[in-house]
Amino acid sequence: MKKPTAPPLDRQLFGRPDTGWRLQVYTVIFEADTRAGRLFDLLLIGLILASVGVVVLDSMAAVHARYSAVFNVLEWVFTTAFTVEYIARLACVRRPMRYAQSGFGIIDLLALLPTYLAVLVPGLHALIDVRVLRLLRIFRILKLTAYVAEFRALGQALSSSRRKILVFMSFVMLVVVVMGTLMYVVEGPANGYTSIPVGVYWAITTMTTVGFGDITPKSDLGRVIASLMMLLGWGTLAVPTGIVSAELSLQRMPHAPTTRTCHECLSEGHAPGARFCCDCGARLPRWQNDSEG
């Protein structure tokens, strides 16, 4: 598995250290193509998946009653590991607060808080069920986005197409409000459409082809409107898929990303066969990459 290269924006935003142990830790955690970097990624992915699996099993009453003690020990093992990782990330960057306030930093914090909150605030159950804190640990699966390059590509595609998706969602909201209001007028409270919000709810479930069947039109005109909504729903679902797919097709990488860094200007991401820096023209050091075997 190849680790996604930390983009120059992240390097400038969080602050890449220049020398010392912080640079070594930063290289392994954020941008290494070496064996140590790959092993770090695989270990974190394994811990994340195992932690989520424990949360899922712990939500089952029969399993929880039998293995609650084991789950409790495993939970503290996972929490300790994620705490060490979080501290290491903050320690190896020159701007730790920027990382803590970033999206990945918040996700890392969400992976830790539930366990500590349940211990530090014993009376928290009076305000919120403790099960909610345990289930919040499921957010750890979001940490996978930091270690799989395809997640980054999908995120970039969604970000690039956000304006188109926003316009599309505005159109969908316009349609469901209009059709829900129309159905409220046509069917009325006698057939279950007691208000315009109820009509909008019916329009959403019909357009998305879910159709729970708890509210159905009884008149001929209402069934005609429902049929139009179903047909419109088929075409509607295809639009966002096409938008995101088009953005993904534009993100063609000319070569596999690496972490080759120019010693003069510190720019990175050069091709394995490049001899000179694409930014300043300085000669690049020989690319070193541990073999997969």
Cα–Cα dist 162/170, whole Å? 12
62-66, 67-71, 139-143, 254-258, range with the lowest pLDDT: 254-258
Please give the mean pLDDT across all residues of the chain. 76
| Nearest residue to 223 (alpha-carbon basis) of 176, 186, 196, 190 | 186
Statement: residue 213 has pLDDT above 50: yes
The answer to whether 261 and 5 are in contact (CB under 8 A) is: no
Residue 103 buriedness (CB in 10 A; 0-12 / 13-18 / 19+):
exposed
| Nearest residue to 131 (alpha-carbon basis) of 109, 114, 110, 106 | 114
Tell me which long-range contacts 77-80 makes (C-beta under 8 A, separation of at least 24).
78/47, 78/50, 78/51, 78/54, 78/140, 79/112, 79/115, 79/116
* H, E, C per residue of the chain: CCCCCCCHHHHHHHCCCCCHHHHHHHHHHHHCCCHHHHHHHHHHHHHHHHHHHHHHHHCCHHHHHHHHHHHHHHHHHHHHHHHHHHHHHHHHCCCHHHHHCCHHHHHHHHCCHHHHHHHHCHHHHHCCCHHHHHHHHHHHHHHHHHCCHHHHHHHHHHHHCHHHHHHHHHHHHHHHHHHHHHHHHHHCHHHCCCCHHHHHHHHHHHHCCCCCCCCCCCCHHHHHHHHHHHHHHHHHHHHHHHHHHHHHHHCCCCCCCCCCECCCCCCECCCCCCCECCCCCCECCCCCCCCCC
pLDDT digits (tens, 9 = 90+) for 96-137: 888 888 877 888 888 788 778 777 766 544 444 444 555 565
- Greatest Cα pair distance in the chain: 80
Residues in CB range of 35: below 8 A, 6 or more apart? 290
pLDDT digits (tens, 9 = 90+) for 28-85: 887 656 677 778 878 888 888 888 888 888 878 888 889 989 988 998 898 899 899 8
Statement: residue 2 has pLDDT above 60: no
157-166, 200-209, 222-231, range with the lowest pLDDT: 157-166
